[in-house]
Structure 1
Amino acid sequence: MPGKTTLPTRSVTDISALFKVLERRDDITPGDRAILEDGPWRTRDYEVGDEIVAEHSEPKESCVIVAGITGRTVTFADGRRQITALHIPGDFVDLHAFLLHVMDHNVVALAPARMAFIGHDRLRRITDSHQHLFRVLSTVLAVDAAIQRVWIACLGRRSAGAHLAHLICEMFLRMEVVGMTRGRSFEFPVTQSMLADTIGLSIVHLNRTLMELRRADLITWERKVVTITNWDRLARAAEFDGTYLNLRKEPR
């Protein structure tokens, strides 16, 4: 499925995707922007499979994706893995670590990824002193929790086809927010194994499910590019309701 994905040339830390995510839900003032941009941020690149944050660690920083895709993962004693969340540029992948301190899962690069880290001491000063930014960052956590609820429902009750269709609808809308779509297409550089670990299927069952969506003329998936050929029918097949993504701007 995916081809080779490369990272953009590194210059100054670019957290513009984070602002696209935040501004989709609230107005971010020039002052708010300056406070977050000032960080300080440190940037690090990761290859596919690299561990970004380790289970049981006590990170002193939280990170935003600048480029790539990461996953939250839980690994079982027999080596099986469940990917419990997918994150794309603009996502604060472990903001919850700022409050919970000890990680109960891993964060792993599912494609070449660039991460920008900001210290928890700095986040504490920002949230203590700037109430609007505190509310905006709290919204990030609230939306993250809403996505988790829907993913649990998908794993527990949706058919494989509806679950995969739902994931594609969700990823399209999230990528659209940060300008990573073209028409009804988006780049999704994950392997079949990663996708199977996300949906909770064997690779064989995943392949059958992908073929069903293709035969129904709902999507095409060429190399690493997914194209939704009929949004309305795909959304109906998934029973997709994007309310949980909270993609509306209102004062916080």
Structure 2
Amino acid sequence: MSSALHRKLQLYASLSGADLGKLSDALRQTRQVNARIDIAVEGDDPRTVYVILHGWAGRCRYLPDGRRQITSLLLPGDCCDPHVFLFRRRDHTITALTPVVIASIPGPVFQELVARSPALELAFFFETMIAGSIQREVAVCLGRRSGLERLAHLLCELHARQTAVALAEGRDCPMPLNQGDLADALGQTPVHINRMLQELRRLGLISLRQRRLTIHDADGLAELASFNPTYLHALDTARREDAR
């Protein structure tokens, strides 16, 4: 189940068989978490690095009245902040958006892992940098793109990220988020998300069936969203090579 993480880290650095073996050993401690259950809570002592092996999760912030903003989506192979254990308190909540399987790596174990492998250290550094790049693009979406453009952009990104780690099949990829999740990620209401999904369908750009997304017109969806995948860096390189 760690194959998505292995594939992604190998896009960032040249990992040896020994590196992959050490990584697999570090991922042995796993557990299942049901959908809508918090994996880690804001204010916790962040001693553990979590890796999503299966399913989808989200970094979330909650306002005092219960409103939620999903600040980023965590897909299979994503590491929930590799160096979070350096902080004294966790500044956000990680919530399972679907049933997930996570690996838990204690902070000292992670430090020893990267200390003994420069390649793994570089790979996880790339992971942190690209997560920051994605976060900047989220800020642009929320600040400058229209609601329809935000949704189109997110769908383009999710397809690209999953293609890079071999979770997409051509134009199709998993899309297990409900309209409430999309609303909380895009700063909209579920009613508005429903209308925008209908519009994307009407334009012949996408379809959604059985928790899977099909992009019928990739160029048209990207043009609508002003989607430039440069910010995905190595993930975009892998996606373009896979499409050849």
TM-score (ref. length: structure 2)? 0.93
Is it true that 1:180 corresponds to 2:167 in the alignment? yes
Task: Extract structure 1 runs of 4+ deviating beyond 4 A.
Answer: none
Identity %: 36
How far, CA to CA, are the matches of 1:51 and 1:131 in structure 2? 33
How far, CA to CA, are the matches of 2:128 and 2:85 in structure 1? 11
Query: What residue is the counterpart of 2:186 in the other structure?
Result: 199
Q: Which amino acid aligns with 1:245?
A: L
Is it true that 1:219 corresponds to 2:206 in the alignment? yes
Query: What residue is the counterpart of 1:246 in the other structure?
Result: 233
Larger CA deviation: 32-41 vs 114-123: 32-41
Contact 1:61 1:117 in 2 (8 A): yes
Matched ranges for 1:145-164 at <5 A: 145-164=132-151
How far, CA to CA, are the matches of 2:3 and 2:172 in structure 1? 21
Deviation of the 1:194 alpha carbon: 0.7
Of 41, 57, 74 in structure 2, the residue corresponding to residue 54 of structure 1 is 41
Query: What residue is the counterpart of 2:85 in the other structure?
Result: 98
Is it true that 1:22 corresponds to 2:9 in the alignment? yes
Deviation of the 1:101 alpha carbon: 4.1
Of 187, 196, 202 in structure 2, the residue corresponding to residue 209 of structure 1 is 196
Contact 1:25 1:246 in 2 (8 A): no
The answer to which structure, 1 or 2, has the higher relative contact order (CA under 8 A, 6+ apart) is 1
Is it true that 1:116 corresponds to 2:95 in the alignment? no
Query: What residue is the counterpart of 2:241 in the other structure?
Result: none
Of 125, 150, 172 in structure 1, the residue corresponding to residue 112 of structure 2 is 125
How far, CA to CA, are the matches of 2:19 and 2:166 in structure 1? 22
How far, CA to CA, are the matches of 2:146 and 2:83 in structure 1? 30
Deviation of the 1:40 alpha carbon: 5.7
Deviation of the 1:108 alpha carbon: 0.3
Deviation of the 1:178 alpha carbon: 2.1
Structure 1 unmatched ranges of 5 or more: 1-13
Alignment length (residue pairs):
236
Query: What residue is the counterpart of 1:7 in the other structure?
Result: none
CA RMSD in angstroms comes to: 1.4
TM-score (ref. length: structure 1)? 0.90
